[in-house]
Amino acid sequence: MHDTRCRPAVLVHGGAGGSRQDEDGCVHAAESAMAALQRGEDALAAATAAVVTMEDDGRFNAGSGSVLCLDGLTVEMDAAVMDSRGRLGAVACLQGVKNPILVALAVAATPHWLLCGEGAERFARTRGFAHHYAVSEKSRNRHRQLIAQLHTDAAATYDVDNQEFMRFWNYDKPISAAVATPCDTVGAVTRDIQGNFAVAGSTGGSAPSLLGRVGDTPIVGSGFYAGPFGAVAVTGLGEHIVRHLLAHTVYQAIAGGMPLALALQQGLDRFDAQIDIGLIAVSRTEAGSRSNRSMPTALMTDDR
User: In which order are the strands placed within the sheet that holds 224-227?
Assistant: 224-227, 230-236, 277-283, 287-291
Active-site annotation holder among 185, 217, 235, 249: 185
> Whose Cβ is closer to ligand ASP: residue 205's or residue 230's?
205
Give least dist CB 195 to ligand ASP, A: 28
> 45: left (phi > 0), else alpha (psi -120 to 50), else beta?
alpha
DSSP states of 19-70: -GGGHHHHHHHHHHHHHHHHTT--HHHHHHHHHHHHHHHSSSSSGGGPPPPT
Active-site annotation holds for 181 = no
289 touches ligand ASP by CB under 6 A = no
241 φψ region: left (φ > 0), alpha (ψ -120 to 50), beta (else): alpha
Where does residue 105 fall: left (phi above 0), alpha (psi -120 to 50 degrees), or beta otherwise?
alpha
Shortest approach of ligand ASP to residue 203 CB, angstroms?
5
Closest C-alpha to 287, from 46, 11, 102, 79:
11
Residue ranges in 3-32 that form contacts with ligand ASP under rule CB under 6 A: 15
**Closest CB 298 distance from ligand ASP, rounded Å:** 17
| Alpha-helix runs per DSSP H in 127-259 | 137-150, 163-167, 238-241, 246-255
Q: How far is the CB of 216 from ligand ASP (least distance, A)?
A: 5
Binding mask 203-232 for ligand ASP (x = CB under 6 A): x-xx--------xxx---------------
The distance of closest approach from Cβ of residue 82 to ligand ASP in the complex, given in angstroms and rounded to an integer, is 16
Q: Which stretch binds ligand ASP (CB under 6 A): 87-95, 201-209, 224-232, 289-297?
A: 201-209
User: Residues of 129-139 as b/e, b for ≥16 C-beta within 10 angstroms?
Assistant: beeeeebbeeb
Count of chain residues binding ligand ASP (CB under 6 A): 15
Build a one-symbol-per-residue string for 53-72: x at contacts with ligand ASP by CB under 6 A, - elsewhere: --------x-----------
**CA 67/CA 75 separation, integer angstroms:** 7
Residues 229-258 that bind ligand ASP (CB under 6 A): 235-238
- Residue pair 294/18 in contact (Cβ under 8 Å)? The answer is yes
Q: Which is nearer to ligand ASP, 44 or 214 (CB)?
A: 214
Residues 138-197 that bind ligand ASP (CB under 6 A): 183-185
Binding site for ligand ASP (CB under 6 A): 15, 61, 183-185, 203, 205-206, 215-217, 235-238
